[in-house]
Amino acid sequence: MFLIIPGALFLGFIFSDQLLPFAGLAPWLFAYVTLVMAIGCGPEQLLVVLRRPWAILLSLLLAHVVSPLAAYGAGTLLLGSDSPYVAGLVLFTLIPLGVSTVLWVALSGGSVPLVLAMVVLDSLLSPIVVPAGIRLLFSQGVSVDTGSVISDLLLIVVLPTVAGVLLHIASRGRIQPAVKPYAVPLSKLCFIGVVSLNAAVIAPHAALLKADMIRIVPLVILLVGFCYAIGFIGTIPMRSRQLQTTVSYATGMRNISLGTVLAMGYFSPLAAVPVVLSILIQQPLATLHHYVLRKIYNDRSGAAERREGTIQS
């Protein structure tokens, strides 16, 4: 991710003129990425929703209620309510959880079935969550065709997700290992295509961004960091390392490629800037979050062992 994402952005900026005619392909490329993700999800993952409904409900509230309010408040305070960047900051918090969340949850000792269920469920809910959040926070300042947003989300998120789950069920889970050697590399190329195409659209406006980057970059870093932190802090009462790890990554990582598609389709190109920046930021912060979690839990384990040794002595 550290090489692929900056490289895709660089290609988009350098070859902007050549890529601009193909910008309309971005939603279709993203739909394929969603399909490949959903092929790995079956009833066993989706049943997790029934086993841990409160954990999933809390995650979605933190990700799509607390975080958008924080983004809107901070953006309005620092940039002004009429800034297109505010719409981009809020859009980052409204888009569904990212597929790469699953990798970090697995590396950090979280619950993979739970986060898979979250990703699928949040993708299915996106036609409701995204337009509702935009309407509630920007009812006067931003004019968006809500019906078109819903239809696009149904087409590029919900239908590929449902199709992937149905293929998993019909094949009894055999389809993923069968197509993985071909489907996964192609999905990576499609992801690069989505990022590059959206960077190409932003490139003509790059000259306008230089003066704004001093304010936008720190704000995006703080927002992404806040999203990780709110997931960890919000699950402290659950007293579960596995749940804290899972929820903190779920609230921190979003489906940025979808965010760029929506930003470019329904907002000004400047609104896509915070979403594109968050692509670069959320992966390094995921690495930092991994080390912070490991340090916290290692310190706790060491303290518990020292207490146990004291009691025994």
State how far the Cα of 100 lies from the Cα of 149, in Å rounded to an integer: 24
CB 115 within 8 A of CB 249: yes
pLDDT confidence of residue 71: 94
pLDDT confidence of residue 300: 62
pLDDT confidence of residue 140: 52
User: How do residues 26-81 score in pLDDT, each as one tens digit?
Assistant: 778 878 877 887 787 777 666 766 677 888 889 899 999 999 999 999 999 988 87
Percent of residues, the chain, with pLDDT higher than 70: 84
pLDDT confidence of residue 219: 92
State how far the Cα of 41 lies from the Cα of 140, in Å rounded to an integer: 39
pLDDT confidence of residue 121: 82
pLDDT confidence of residue 169: 85
pLDDT confidence of residue 130: 85
The residue type at 108: S
pTM over 0.85: no
Q: Which H/E stretch holds residue 282?
A: helix 272-312
Domain coordinates in residue numbering, the chain: 15-297
User: How do residues 215-249 score in pLDDT, each as one tens digit?
Assistant: 888 999 999 999 999 999 998 888 888 889 999 99
Exposed, middle or buried: residue 306 (CB in 10 Å: 0-12, 13-18, 19+)?
exposed
User: How do residues 166-215 score in pLDDT, each as one tens digit?
Assistant: 888 888 888 888 888 888 888 888 878 877 887 787 777 666 666 677 88
Q: For the domain bounded by 15-297, which CATH number is listed?
A: 1.20.1530.20
Judge whether residue 258 has pLDDT over 90: no
pLDDT confidence of residue 144: 56
Helix %, strand %, coil % of the chain (to 5): 85, 0, 15
